[in-house]
Amino acid sequence: MYRTKYKDMPIDIVGVVSNHETFREIVEFNGYKFHYLPIKDNKQKQEEEFHEIAIQSGTELIVLARYMQILSQDFVSKWSNNCINIHHSFLPSFKGSRPYHQAYDKGVKIIGATAHYVTEDLDEGPIIEQDVERVNHRDTAADMTRKGNTIESNVLAKAVRWHAEKKILLNGPKTIVFS
């Protein structure tokens, strides 16, 4: 939102869909529509509502940031190559949830983030952008998470920009990025 507000991102945000209320105030304060779609007993219904909101609002790209849900095959196929996820690890390492804690437990020396197109396979879509930062034995899992948040923000911004500027060419399971 920040980059868009200050004309540093060539996109128009048409709204935010979230399964948490956490960012409602900041989204609405910045003048964007906020749609709260909790996942309760019927995930399929929630995804159908998500898809309908996206279609009605003219969405061209779905950006998943902190969504932390596995999308159904049906949803993914509808948004193929138009849905970007930011994963808080340097894929293919530490897929799934709590990757910074996994990295801490393994004693890794670098952490990172990966922006990729969403596919039916969890955290395995074509990689658009990645970045890393060195960590050491003094860093806690919380330190790694804090450092990782900055990396994630920058990696996701680049991926969204390149997608909007049509600088990404899909080549099978890979991407070619004309940055």
Supply the pTM of this predicted model: 0.89
Residue 77 has pLDDT above 80, yes or no: yes
Average pLDDT on 80-97 reads: 85
First to last CA, the chain: 22
- What per-residue confidence (pLDDT) applies to 62? 96
Average pLDDT on 70-86 reads: 95
Element (H, E) at 11: none
Q: Which runs of consecutive H residues, i.e. helices, occur in 7-140?
A: 24-29, 43-56, 73-78, 99-106
- What per-residue confidence (pLDDT) applies to 81? 95
Average pLDDT on 46-52 reads: 95
Structure tokens at 90: 């340097």
Read off the pLDDT of residues 130-171 as tens digits, 9 standing for 90 and up.
999 999 999 999 999 999 999 999 999 999 999 999 999 999
Q: List active site positions.
A: 123
Phi and psi torsions of 148, nearest 5°:
-65, -35
Domain 85-179 -> CATH class: alpha beta
Percent of the chain with pLDDT over 90: 72
Question: Within the chain, which residue ranges are assigned CATH 3.40.50.170?
Answer: 85-179
Residue 63 has pLDDT above 90, yes or no: yes
Residues 132 and 158: beta-carbon distance below 8 Å? no
Read off the pLDDT of residues 110-135 as tens digits, 9 standing for 90 and up.
999 999 999 998 888 999 999 999 99
**pLDDT category, 16, cuts 50, 70, 90?**
very high
